[in-house]
Amino acid sequence: MKLSVIIPAYNEKNTIKEIVRRVKQVELPGVDKEIIVVDDGSTDETRDVLKLMEDSSVRVFYHSENRGKGAAIRTALEHAKGDLIVIQDADLEYDPEDYPKLINPVLKKKATVVYGSRFTGEHRNMLFWHYVGNRFLSLVTNILYNTTLSDMETGYKLFTREVLDGIKIKARGFEFEPEVTAKILKRGTRIYEVPISYAGREYIEGKKIVGWKDGLVALWCLIKYRFMN
């Protein structure tokens, strides 16, 4: 079995080398890894760092301009060869040591989609309004799609290839999270959640999500895909 680790990156010169090192270091018995990094038009030295990292286990693709996280993921999916696919942010908020937690439910035939919940595992406390926004969007997801997710917006999402092959993703930005969740749930696929560790960044450390504007976009996506194709 092969795991494709998709890493969308935008202006992450300080963390990209370390996160790739951590992904490589994770031991997954019986599971091969491929790492696909998409530089989403970085304007710092991220590209220079990545060019030195490309090898047989790390493939890098470059956007000529910043298109958004969703667009970077879509580019990576075009090249991913794994039976399983996991999204890995390029910062250090999510720990690759949690991969076994995400993969085990699939290996045990309990799930085809697994989300890592930041609210059920150990974590560095996030900003209050980010917490409120995340919980609100999860609540809306649960109401609209008749489920009980604790963390819809989590960056750790793992899918089997078959699940993603049946879904057309349109998102260009952070709306990837609600779009893929909505389309999976609308098809009747239940999402399995596992606790993960989380070390959220502050804005001064490079956190990219703007705040309430992203929340409004996510809310609209959840409503739109519930009642539209």
Q: Strand, helix or coil at 65?
A: coil
Q: Residue 124 to residues 72, 91, 178, 198: CA-CA distances in angstroms?
A: 27, 15, 23, 6
* Cβ neighbours of 66 (radius 10 Å): 16
Q: Which stretches of 52-127 are DSSP H helices?
A: 69-79, 99-107
Q: CA 71, CA 77: separation in Å to the nearest integer?
A: 10
* Residue whose entry in the numeric block shows the structure tokens 């997710």: 149
DSSP state of 57: T
Q: Does CATH place domain 2-227 in 3.90.550.10? A: yes
pLDDT at 8: 97
| pLDDT the model gives residue 229 | 65
The confidence score (pLDDT) of residue 85 equals: 98
5 is written with which tokens?
Answer: 């680790």
Predicted confidence at residue 166, as pLDDT, reads: 84
- 3-state secondary structure labels for all residues of 124-145: ECCCHHHHHHHHHHHHHHHHHH
- Quick one: residue 51, left, alpha or beta (phi over 0 = left, psi -120 to 50 = alpha)? alpha
**pLDDT score at 210:** 56
Can you tell me which residue has the tokens 């349109």?
170
Q: What is the chain's pLDDT, residue by residue, as a tens digit (229 residues)?
A: 999 999 999 999 999 999 999 999 999 999 999 999 999 999 999 999 999 999 888 999 999 999 999 999 999 999 999 999 999 999 999 999 999 999 999 999 999 999 999 988 665 666 676 778 889 999 999 999 999 999 999 999 999 999 999 899 999 988 999 999 999 999 999 999 999 999 875 544 445 555 668 889 999 999 999 998 6
Say what the pLDDT of residue 129 is. Answer: 67
Per-residue confidence (pLDDT) for residue 131, from 0 to 100: 79
Q: Report residue 127: phi and psi, to 5°.
A: -60, 145
pLDDT confidence of residue 205: 47
Question: What pLDDT shows up at residue 199?
Answer: 86
Res 202: pLDDT: 53
Look up residue 73 and give its amino acid: I
Domain residue spans of the chain: 2-227
d(CA 5, CA 24): 10
Give first-to-last CA distance, the chain, whole Å: 32
Model pLDDT, residue 89:
96
